[in-house]
A and B are shown apart, each in its own frame.
Chain A
Amino acid sequence: MSEVLEIQDEHHVDLLPTPDNGEGGEKTAMNISYGKTMMWYFLLSDAFTFSAFLIAYAATRLAQAWWPNPNLVFKSFPGLGHTNAPLAFVSVMTFILILSSVAVVRAVQEGHRMNQKGVMLWMIGGIVGGAMFLGCQAWEWTHLIGEGLRPFYNPFGPDANGITHLVEEHMAVSPGPIAFGALFFGITGFHGFHVFTGVCINIWAFIATANGTFQRRGHYEMIEKVGLYWHFVDLVWVFVFLAFYLM
Chain B
Amino acid sequence: MSSHLSEEQYQSGVKAVWRATAILSVVTVVEVAVALILGPHLPKLIMNTFYVLASLAKAFFIVGEFMHLKYEKRAFMLSLGVPLVFLIWAIIAFATEGHYWNILNHPK
> Contact between A30 and B67 (Cβ–Cβ < 8 Å)?
no
> Contact between A63 and B101 (Cβ–Cβ < 8 Å)?
yes
Instruction: Sort A-B residue pairs by CB-CB distance and give the 4 closest, nearest first.
Output: A62-B98, A219-B2, A59-B98, A63-B101
Partner of B1, one of A25, A62, A220: A25
Q: Which residues of A contact B65 (CB under 8 A)?
A: 105
> Contact between B1 and A239 (Cβ–Cβ < 8 Å)?
no
Tell me, yes or no, whether B42 is within 8 Å of chain A by CB: no
Residues 83-129 (chain A) with a chain B CB within 8 angstroms: 86-87, 91, 94-95, 98-99, 101-102, 105-106, 108-109, 112-114
Q: Nearest chain-B residue to A234 (Cβ)?
A: B62
CA–CA, A32 and B72, complex, Å: 7
> Contact between A218 and B1 (Cβ–Cβ < 8 Å)?
yes
Q: Which residues of A contact B106 (CB under 8 A)?
A: 65
> Contact between B98 and A242 (Cβ–Cβ < 8 Å)?
no
Tell me, yes or no, whether A156 is within 8 Å of chain B by CB: no
> Contact between A32 and B98 (Cβ–Cβ < 8 Å)?
no
Q: Nearest chain-A residue to B79 (Cβ)?
A: A30
CA–CA, A98 and B82, complex, Å: 26
> Contact between B51 and A242 (Cβ–Cβ < 8 Å)?
yes
CA–CA, A168 and B39, complex, Å: 27
| Minimum Cβ distance to chain A for residue B40 (Å) | 8
A-B contact count (CB 8 A): 142
> Contact between B4 and A247 (Cβ–Cβ < 8 Å)?
no
Residues 35-71 (chain B) with a chain A CB within 8 angstroms: 35-36, 39, 48, 51-52, 55, 58-59, 62-63, 65-68
- Interface residues in A, total, Cβ within 8 A: 57
Tell me, yes or no, whether A180 is within 8 Å of chain B by CB: no
Tell me, yes or no, whether A246 is within 8 Å of chain B by CB: yes
30 contacts between A and B (CB under 8 A): A25-B2, A32-B73, A37-B76, A40-B76, A55-B90, A56-B94, A58-B91, A58-B98, A59-B95, A63-B105, A65-B102, A71-B35, A87-B32, A87-B36, A98-B24, A102-B17, A106-B14, A106-B17, A112-B2, A112-B4, A112-B13, A114-B4, A219-B2, A224-B68, A227-B67, A231-B66, A235-B62, A242-B51, A242-B55, A247-B51
> Contact between A71 and B39 (Cβ–Cβ < 8 Å)?
yes
CA–CA, A43 and B86, complex, Å: 16
